[in-house]
Amino acid sequence: MADRPRIVGIDLGTTNTLVASVRNRIPKIVPTDRGNLILPSVVALSAKNDLLVGGVAKDQMVTNPKNTLWGTKRLIGRKYHSKAVEDLKGYFPYDIVEDANGDTAVTMGGKLYTLPQVSSFVLSQLKTIAEQFLGGPIDAAVISVPAYYNDNQRNAVKEAGRLAGFDVKRIVNEPTAAALAYGFNRGLDQKVLVYDLGGGTFDVSVLHLAGNVFEVLATGGDSFLGGADFDNRIIEYVLERFRDETKVDLTESPIALQRIKNAAEAAKIDLTLIPNVVIDLPYIEERKGKPLDLRIPLTRDYLNNLTGDLVDRTFDICDRVLAEKGISRSEIDEIILVGGQSRMPLVQQKIQAHFGKAPRKGVHPDECVALGAALLGDSLGSIDAVTLLDALSMPIGYAMPNGRVKRIIEKNSLIPMVKSFRLPPPQQPGAQFIELDIYQGDSDLMVDNEYLGTVRVPAAAAGRKIDFRLTEECLLQVQVEDASGMSRKVDLATRDTPEQLKKALQEVASRNTPAAPSSSSGPSDDRGLFSSIKSIFRRG
């Protein structure tokens, strides 16, 4: 058994998760304990306090919605007070809470779980499945993430893998993994566009394939555009129709909502193959002792009307990504579809109309990411290993006193890379420390970007070289030159989230007076927060 695979590839999806292995250079999906190729990304606590993962957890979504966790990939690696989490809180039936670090967490059975913990339960289940199927221990994995994930989210996924018992060899972008599955060992020389519309996110990447060199030319996406948003349009339509017909509002019934959610997803899938369906849910509610049935027809054409703007948003992103690199649509040789939502007939019709060519049919949209991740894992350390030249999806920089971000690493920079600059002096004269708040995002305003952490070094370090180093996994490392000229790694401190900064700025602006000095008894990191605010109004 010397050729037994030791590294697996994992596609940790919003809706489903897959694991693949390579034997004799051929990647294959590992079937789950139920014989399926996909494991639902669902974790639950049963009435007997048993932890359930996958299909058995999904089975109890209707009867136990408060203790069934799904769609958590949309929340992982995000601060609790971020706008993204605020917008999602009402969408899930389970409780979303804040952990001790200010990160988003969830509760099941009255116990708090971090989101890396939740994902680790899914990954642990996959580890067990793979070890049983492959006949031996699996020590390592390559795990895919959306290309548009920021540094916090990537680190959270890597932590989930570690908690599950994996040595995570690489974090790889999903579109890059899909392109690898398509082009590995085929000797191609093409520009391909990977259109990845999954359950929770949309990514688009343009790659140049030259033999086994895969170079990402441009990438972009939307981490809140996916199949779940298409489901939501159907759910809203069904709720409105039922309310109009019966004067009954089902939004206050978690069990009814979960039944409608499941039926909406099933109807959407059916409409990829047939033009008409009926969403039929007997005994959805009871009024005055009488059962109420829900029976609402839905056509493919009406679904297209409900969701056409979501599909159009994906092409706005595609055009923006192409424009950023000056690539014309006609230069694209192949379009690869990834993600279950890309099966929608409207999506494929609009791709043909938009790009003037049909998408490639030979790549399985559900399996290709896991297969590509497995191929990458299998090639690590090999003489003929594939070469991935990936790119940064969102720029990284540090906050200026005026609330704007000075970009250090631009979007679409090839990774791995190092960008060096000189440390500026402290923002406040006489301050003992230099504090750089690091942000990642497309906006020029710090409050609209994702806060990654704070570099905090003695004021004497002003003028010394500081390196922003992006690893091949697109993870940020910071190194600062010390007095002897040697570089040393700096751990990022944390402080308030961008939303709290924004609130503080607005409060100060409403008073139109300088912010009062913070108490010396508070944490030292909080002083840096308000020094930025004070600087804004001193300049004014």
The model's pLDDT over 274-331, given as tens digits with 9 standing for 90+, comes to 999 999 999 999 887 889 999 999 999 999 999 999 999 999 999 999 999 999 999 9
- Residues 47, 182: one domain? yes
Q: Residue 284 belongs to a domain with what CATH number?
A: 3.90.640.10
Domain assignment present for 75: yes
Provide the residue range defining the domain that includes 266. Answer: 227-305
- Residues 211, 236: one domain? no
The model's confidence at residue 505, banded by pLDDT at 50, 70 and 90, is very low
pLDDT at 499: 52
pLDDT at 383: 58
- Residues 214, 256: one domain? no
- Residues 107, 97: one domain? yes
Is residue 73 part of the annotated active site? The answer reads yes
- Residues 220, 318: one domain? yes
Q: In whole angstroms, what is the distance from residue 514 CA to residue 491 CA? A: 31
Domain assignment present for 2: no
Biggest CA pair distance of the chain: 82
pLDDT at 286: 86
Domain assignment present for 158: yes
- Residues 488, 440: one domain? yes
Domain assignment present for 327: yes
Question: Which of residues 390, 424, 453 is at a domain's end?
Answer: 390
Residue 532 has pLDDT above 80, yes or no: no
3-state secondary structure of 207: strand
Q: Where would I find the H helices in 223-284?
A: 227-246, 254-270
Question: Which of residues 390, 412, 437 is at a domain's end?
Answer: 390
Domain assignment present for 1: no
For 160-205, the pLDDT digits (tens) are 999 999 999 999 999 999 999 999 989 999 999 999 999 999 999 9
Better-scored residue on pLDDT, 2 or 222: 222
The answer, as to whether pTM is greater than 0.75, is: yes
pLDDT at 523: 34
Q: In whole angstroms, what is the distance from residue 537 CA to residue 229 CA? A: 41
Q: Please provide the average confidence, as pLDDT, over all residues in the chain.
A: 88
Report the phi/psi class of residue 441: left, alpha or beta, with left for phi > 0 and alpha for psi in -120 to 50: left
Domain assignment present for 339: yes
Q: How many domains does the chain have?
A: 3
Of the residues 174, 222, 231, 473, only one is catalytic, namely: 174
3-state secondary structure of 264: helix
Residue 242 has pLDDT above 70, yes or no: yes
What is the rounded end-to-end Cα distance, in angstroms, of the chain?
71
Percentage of the chain lying above the pLDDT 90 cut: 72
> Can you name the residues that pair with 354 across neighbouring β-strands?
none
- Residues 272, 344: one domain? no
- Residues 381, 407: one domain? no
- Residues 487, 506: one domain? yes
Q: Residue 535 belongs to a domain with what CATH number?
A: 2.60.34
- Residues 43, 82: one domain? yes
Q: Of the candidates 312, 315, 361, which has an alpha carbon nearest to the alpha carbon of residue 338? A: 361
Of the residues 103, 159, 196, 222, only one is catalytic, namely: 196
Better-scored residue on pLDDT, 319 or 223: 319
Question: Which of residues 337, 368, 390 is at a domain's end?
Answer: 390
- Residues 94, 108: one domain? yes
- Residues 253, 346: one domain? no
User: Per-residue pLDDT averaged across 137-155, rounded?
Assistant: 94
Domain assignment present for 320: yes
Cβ(285)–Cβ(255) below 8 Å: no
Is residue 11 part of the annotated active site? The answer reads yes
| Count of CA atoms in the C-beta half-sphere (13 A) of 346 | 23
39-40 and 42-45 beta bridge pairing = unpaired
Domain assignment present for 484: yes
Is residue 247 part of the annotated active site? The answer reads no
Residue type at position 481: E
Q: Residue 117 belongs to a domain with what CATH number?
A: 3.30.420.40
189-197 and 334-338 beta bridge pairing = parallel
How large is the C-alpha radius of gyration of the chain? 25
Decide: residue 492, CB within 10 A, 0-12 exposed, 13-18 middle, 19+ buried: middle
Q: Please report where in the chains the tokens 């609330």 appear, as a residue.
A: 403
For 320-345, the pLDDT digits (tens) are 999 999 999 999 999 999 999 999 99
